[in-house]
Chain A
Amino acid sequence: MTNGPALNRFLAEVEQRAFRMARFAVADTDEALDIVQDAMLTLAAKYSHKTEAEWPPLFFRILRNRITDFHRRRTIQRGIFALFGSRPAADDEPDPLEQLSDGRHAEPDFRAQIDVTTRRLEAAVAALPTRQREAFLLRVWEGFDVATTARAMRCSEGSVKTHYSRAVHALRDQLEDDWP
C-alpha cells in the first residue's frame, strides 16, 4: 500500500515554506530548490511508511541536514579554491547572507515580486544566527510546538525556547522602528 496521495498533500502544504527556509540559509534559488527536492525524495524513500503526524519534524530535520551538508561542501570548496588560488579566498568572498540582506546582488526575478516590508523582514531573518533562525521559522511559520521543534532541530526544548526568544527580540530590535 502506498502513501502517495497523503505524501503529495503534505509536501504541497510545506514545499513553499521549505523552499524559503532553504533560501534564507543558502541565499541561492537553485541550491535551495535542489535541497528541497532532495529532502522530499529522502522523506519518500525512507520515511513514507511513518504516520503523517511524524512527517513534519522528520522533513524539516532532513531539510536542516541538507542545508548543513551544503554549507560543509561550500566550506570545503572554498578551502580547495583558496589553496590553489583559482578563486578568491574565503575572507574575500562576499557572504551570501550579506548578499541577501543587501538586496542588490539577489536575483532580480525573485526580488521583484517581494515588497519592501517582506524584503526587510527576510533580510533580518536571514541575518539571524542559524539556530535562532531555525527555531523562529519552525515555531512561527510551521506552527510547531516546542517539543516538535526540538525533535526537528535535535536539541532540548530549553534550547528551542532560548533560541526562539532571542530571535524574536533580535527581529523586534531590528524591525520595530519601521515595521508597518
Chain B
Amino acid sequence: MNDDRRGADDAFVAQVRDVLDRAAPPDDVRTRLAAARRRAVASLDAAVPRAPARWVPVGALATTLLAVFLSVSVQRPPPAIDMQQLATVEDMDLLMDLEFVAWLDTDNVDAG
C-alpha cells in the first residue's frame, strides 16, 4: 500500500517537474534575467582589481612613516659629540685653571 502510494507520488512529482520545466518565462523576462546575471558577474570582475588597490594607501603610509623615522634618526647628533664637547669644556677649565695658577705665580713673584 505504502509502495503504491509512494510510486504514485513519484509519478505525480515527475509530471509536475515536466510541466514546470516546459513553462519558460516570457522573452522580456529572460532578457532582464540575463542582464541581471551579467551585472552580477561584472560586479565580481570589477571587484578583483580593487582588492590589492585597498592596500596601496596603507603601504604608502607605512613607507612614509619609515622614511620619516630614518630621517630623524640620521639627523640626531650621536652621543659621542656630546662627550667630546664635554671633554672640551673640561680642557678649557683646566686651561683656565693653569692660567690662574700662572698668574698667581707671577703675582707672587712680583709681590715677593
Asked if A99 CB lies within 8 Å of chain B CBs, one says no
Taking a contact as CB atoms under 8 Å apart, the answer to whether B48 and A2 are in contact is yes
Chain B interface residue number, banded: 20 to 34
Listed A/B pairs (28) with beta-carbon separation below 8 Å: A1-B48, A4-B45, A8-B38, A15-B33, A16-B30, A29-B29, A33-B29, A36-B33, A37-B40, A40-B37, A40-B40, A43-B40, A44-B40, A44-B41, A44-B44, A45-B43, A109-B26, A110-B25, A113-B26, A117-B19, A140-B13, A168-B9, A168-B12, A169-B9, A171-B16, A172-B12, A179-B15, A180-B15
B34: chain A residues within 8 A (beta carbon): 12, 15
B16: chain A residues within 8 A (beta carbon): 121, 140, 171
Docked complex Cα distance between A14 and B48 (Å): 24
Main secondary structure, interface of B, reads helix
Taking a contact as CB atoms under 8 Å apart, the answer to whether A40 and B36 are in contact is yes
Asked if B70 CB lies within 8 Å of chain A CBs, one says no
Main secondary structure, interface of A, reads helix
Taking a contact as CB atoms under 8 Å apart, the answer to whether A4 and B44 are in contact is yes
B40: chain A residues within 8 A (beta carbon): 7, 11, 37, 40-41, 43-44
| Chain A residues with a Cβ under 8 A of chain B | 1-4, 7-8, 11-12, 15-17, 19-20, 29, 33, 36-37, 40-41, 43-45, 48, 109-110, 113-115, 117-118, 121-122, 140-141, 168-169, 171-172, 176, 179-180
Kindly provide the distance from the CB of A178 to the nearest chain B CB, expressed in whole angstroms.
13
Docked complex Cα distance between A179 and B13 (Å): 12
Contacts A43-B40, A168-B13 given; 7 further ones with Cβ under 8 A?
A: A4-B41, A4-B44, A15-B33, A20-B23, A33-B33, A45-B47, A121-B19
Cβ 8 A contact of B33, one of A19, A41, A109, A180: A19
Kindly provide the distance from the CB of A113 to the nearest chain B CB, expressed in whole angstroms.
5
Cβ 8 A contact of A7, one of B28, B30, B44: B44
Taking a contact as CB atoms under 8 Å apart, the answer to whether B23 and A33 are in contact is no
Asked if B76 CB lies within 8 Å of chain A CBs, one says no
Kindly provide the distance from the CB of B11 to the nearest chain A CB, expressed in whole angstroms.
10
Cβ 8 A contact of A15, one of B20, B36, B44: B36
